Amino acid sequence: MAPPPPTPVAPPKKLTLYTNHLSPNGLKVSIYLEELKAADPTAFEYDLHRIDLQKGENKEPSFIAMNPNGRIPVLVDHSRDDFAIFESAAILLYLEQNYDTKKRFSFDAQKQPKDYSSMLQWIFFAHAGLGPMQSQAHFFRHYSPEDVPYAKKRYHDETKRLYRVLDIALTDRDWLVGPGRGRFTIADANALPWIRLHTRAGIETLNAWPNLQSWYARIIERPAIKDAIQSVALT
């Protein structure tokens, strides 16, 4: 009797994402990866590796070799000599340049320069403003070893101000960037993880920002975003 044929071995995936279920910055990247996967499931796959922050896995030499800053997320592109990319906005732009060649969730910088620039502006707005301010609001509300009323109020108020900026930008629009009412792009994916955690920053509802509230209700129902949230969840 002839021996059974060998079990097929799946080819290694091109990309590995190192992240954690608690990371808003990691979720940004998971969202983009899942959107790309949903857009072309036969051509796009990736591996997800959860980093245990409580065990300090992000400080181990193997992780520091990928990101000297010891922070998540990190994306490794195995098709390019295991090239490692850190900083969530840099990862989004790397994926946009190398894996979203049809610009499904972006714009062509040469053919649509204004839309592309607007997208970058909102990415950097969240990366340099919304994320850091809301992170501090979260920290002083939940983790600070001492109660610092000034810091709690300062970062809470600044987070609300930035929500107002987004609310203004979303007036008569469905999405942050694009002609007409806009279309979903990585600018939206980049902002969502922070808005999703508004209660952790002491903002109980989004009622004060109706345009932002409508945007949130719209974006959170995207199937790929639900998949991204589930992909990093602890089981």
Query: Rounded distance, CA 108 to CA 160, Å?
Result: 32
CATH among 3.40.50.1820, 1.20.1050.10, 3.40.50.970, 3.40.50.1970 for 113-222:
1.20.1050.10
The SS3 assignment for 57 reads helix
In this structure, are residues 175 and 181 in contact, taking their beta carbons and an 8 Å threshold?
Answer: yes
Predicted pLDDT at 43: 76
Q: Is the pLDDT of residue 17 over 60?
A: yes
Looking up tokens 């199937």, which residue turns up?
Answer: 223
Q: Which CATH architecture has domain 15-105+226-234?
A: 3-Layer(aba) Sandwich (3.40)
Q: Is the pLDDT of residue 15 over 80?
A: yes
Helix axis angle for 210-219 and 186-196, nearest 10°, is: 100
Q: Where are the alpha helices (DSSP H) in 178-222?
A: 186-196, 210-219
Contacts 24+ apart (CB under 8 A), 144-153: 152/202
- Strands of 46-50's sheet, edge to edge? 46-50, 15-19, 74-77, 83-86
Q: What is the pLDDT of residues 153-197, one digit of tens each?
A: 999 999 999 999 999 999 999 999 999 999 999 999 999 999 999
Structure tokens at 165: 């900026």
Predicted pLDDT at 234: 62
CATH 1.20.1050.10 positions along the chain are 113-222
Prediction pTM value = 0.92
CATH 3.40.30.10 positions along the chain are 15-105+226-234
Query: Rounded distance, CA 206 to CA 213, Å?
Result: 5
Predicted pLDDT at 1: 56
Looking up tokens 């509300």, which residue turns up?
Answer: 141
Query: Rounded distance, CA 202 to CA 207, Å?
Result: 14
Q: Amino acid identity of 120?
A: L
Q: What is the pLDDT of residues 120-130, one digit of tens each?
A: 999 999 999 99
Average pLDDT over residues 88-100: 97
